Amino acid sequence: MHEKLKPNGITKVAPMIAAGYGVQNISIDRNWLGLEHVKDSYCAIDCTEQIIEYDFPRINGHDFYDSPSIIEEIALEQNVNLEGVKMFYYEVYNQEFDEETLAWRDFKDLSRIEGIDSDVQTPSHFTFEGFDICPYIYTPQCSVLFCNQVAKNVPVNEHCLISDFETAKSFIESECRNSEIKQLGEPGPYRIYAVYTIN
């Protein structure tokens, strides 16, 4: 957690783990969500927009990449033009919510299970954009806010992200405890990701 970082006037209040980097095409069909103020999607995982194919030998224990240079190398190898796409840096809350027990618990990432190393390089200049919520079943699954349209049920910013941690955390808890199926669009457990753009 970056104690001195107060991005966009928001102070982070939760212990976060550096998860890594990814690239996304942020343009969206606004009719998908039906939320006039949402102009694009900065979600952590978007099932409809896979810019580069996963290079499994080079993903880290959180299923992201340790540095922008690794993504650029893979894009070059796959003949993918990164012009017009946006690169993101992610952190993940150090617990996940189990919809079966309705409780937060420490999670085991791939670095602990499979021995996959994570050596994330923290960017020198980055801007906090908000929090996303993703199920985690072996790997991070689609953003429930965008892909499952759960953003209709919670206040989100123009990038389809929740602006503060406590809102994201309490929303997961209340939705799972009050829902008959105890799910946010698809099965959990659920993790909270802090999303940053790289300046």
Measured distance CA(47)–CA(146) in Å, rounded? 10
Measured distance CA(97)–CA(111) in Å, rounded? 20
Whether 11 is in a domain gets the answer no
Give CA 182 to chain center in angstroms.
Answer: 21
> E strands of the chain, at which residues?
16-24, 86-93, 95-98, 103-106, 126-137, 139-140, 190-198
Measured distance CA(161)–CA(127) in Å, rounded? 14
Q: Which residue has the tokens 């994330």?
A: 120
Whole-number Cα distances in Å, 158 to 33, 35, 165, 166: 12, 9, 17, 19
> What one-character DSSP code corresponds to residue 73?
H
Q: Which residue has the tokens 């952590």?
A: 44
Q: What is the mean pLDDT of the segment spanning 148-155?
A: 88
Q: What is the mean pLDDT of the segment spanning 158-175?
A: 93
Q: What are phi and psi of 110, to 5 degrees?
A: -65, -25
Q: What is the mean pLDDT of the segment spanning 35-48?
A: 83
Whether 10 is in a domain gets the answer no
Q: Which domain holds residue 123?
A: 16-198
Q: How confident is the model at residue 137 (pLDDT cuts 50, 70, 90)?
A: confident
Whether 9 is in a domain gets the answer no
> In terms of pLDDT, which residue wins out, 186 or 87?
87
pLDDT in tens, 72-100: 998 999 888 888 788 999 999 999 999 88
Whether 8 is in a domain gets the answer no
Per-residue pLDDT, 109: 59
pLDDT in tens, 153-165: 899 999 999 999 9
**pTM (two decimals):** 0.87
Per-residue pLDDT, 50: 67
| Contact (CB, 8 A) for 162 and 156 | yes
Q: What is the mean pLDDT of the segment spanning 27-41?
A: 79
> What one-character DSSP code corresponds to residue 84?
T
Under DSSP, is residue 162 helix (H, G, I), strand (E, B) or coil? strand
Q: What is the mean pLDDT of the segment spanning 63-68?
A: 91
Q: How many structural domains comprise the chain?
A: 1
